Every structure is written in structure tokens, then in C-alpha cells.
Amino acid sequence: MILVINTCKHKLHSAEFVKPIIDLLDDFKVKHFTELKKQDIEKADKIIISGTALKDNEARKHLKKFAWIKDLDKPLLGICMGMQLIGLIHEAEIYECNEIGPTKITITEKTQLIDKTELEAYELHDFATKLPKGFKEMAKSEKCLQIMQKGKICGMMFHPEVMNKEIILKFDRKD
């Protein structure tokens, strides 16, 4: 079962940032980050942390709710805000960086989820994450880090649920 963690402050935004993810998954459970319990993390085989609306930074104000990321030993995919949260938990800096719409991304290191050297991806963010210590840069755009990975933890600044849906499908089906 994949646990999808909703980071949206407003319920309406879930239709844009959570529903496209769960529409691609076979076996999932959705929990809002404010309602997340330790048992939810323990029961999940994999976890996806969703993105959220452009000006919705509420989840970053509740970092303690995401402390479990530091010790996680199961596949985690953080999308946009999810990547920012992974970065912050691993003591990386967040900085202003605006990218909206289709953006060219260069794959700098082979990943299990992407088998291309570059791709066009959908961006919707005002902030980006610097590379945390111990993580590898896997992809970048002209403006910022796009994919970072450490073990089973992967962060993506872009929204694969909008363009590049095969990434979510591979994450769902990968052992």
C-alpha cells in the first residue's frame, strides 16, 4: 500500500495536487499531514508526499510532523513541497526560485524512475531546495535542483503527476 500524504492547506487544492497521483495508483491510502500518525507510516510499503498550491507553504511550518523522514527505510517520493520537506528535514536550505509551466530538465545521474537523459516536466513552485548532505543530484533545470536521491528517498521539484505520469507508475510498481 502506498501512503499519499496530502500537503494542501485547502481541501480544494487536493483535486489538483493529490487526485492526479491517486488516479495512477493501484493500492493507496490518503492522509492529510495534520492527521498523520506513526501507524500510518509503519503500515505503508511506500510513501508519496504531494505538492501543493503555489503560495501554500503551510506544511513547511509543521516540520515536526515530518521528522520521521530522517529515519525512514522505505521508498519515499517527495513531489515539489514534498521535496522541500525532505530537504528541510535533512538540513538543506530552501530559497526563492520561480518556475512555472513546462521546463527542460537534464538528468545528471541515472535513476530507477527515469530512463532518459532529459525530459520536459511541469513546474509550479516559488521555492527550491539546495542539495542536502548525503544526497545525490540526479537532475537539474537551468534554475535549480530537480531530482535528489539518497537510498530509497527521492525528491522531485517538478510535478510528474501532470507531465511524465510514467514516473508515478514506475514508483507504484517498483519493488
Q: What are the chain's domains? A: 2-173 (3.40.50.880)
Instruction: Report the phi/psi class of residue 7: left, alpha or beta, with left for phi > 0 and alpha for psi in -120 to 50.
Output: alpha
Helices (H) and strands (E) in the chain, counts: 5, 9
Residue of 156, 170, 149, 50 whose CA lies nearest to 103 = 156
- Return the pLDDT at 55: 81
Instruction: Answer with the residue of higher pLDDT: 13 or 29.
Output: 29
Q: Judge whether residue 54 has pLDDT over 80.
A: no
- What proportion of the chain, given as a percentage, has pLDDT over 90? 86
pLDDT tens, 129-171?
999 999 999 999 999 999 999 999 999 999 999 999 999 999 9
pLDDT tens, 89-140?
999 999 999 999 999 999 999 988 998 999 999 999 999 999 999 999 999 9
- Return the pLDDT at 14: 80
What is the pTM assigned to this prediction? 0.94
- Return the pLDDT at 175: 66
From CA 133, how far away is CA 104, in angstroms rounded? Answer: 25
Q: Are 51 and 124 in contact (CB under 8 A)?
A: yes
Q: Are 129 and 87 in contact (CB under 8 A)?
A: yes
- Averaged over 31-57, what is the pLDDT? 93
Q: Are 154 and 111 in contact (CB under 8 A)?
A: yes
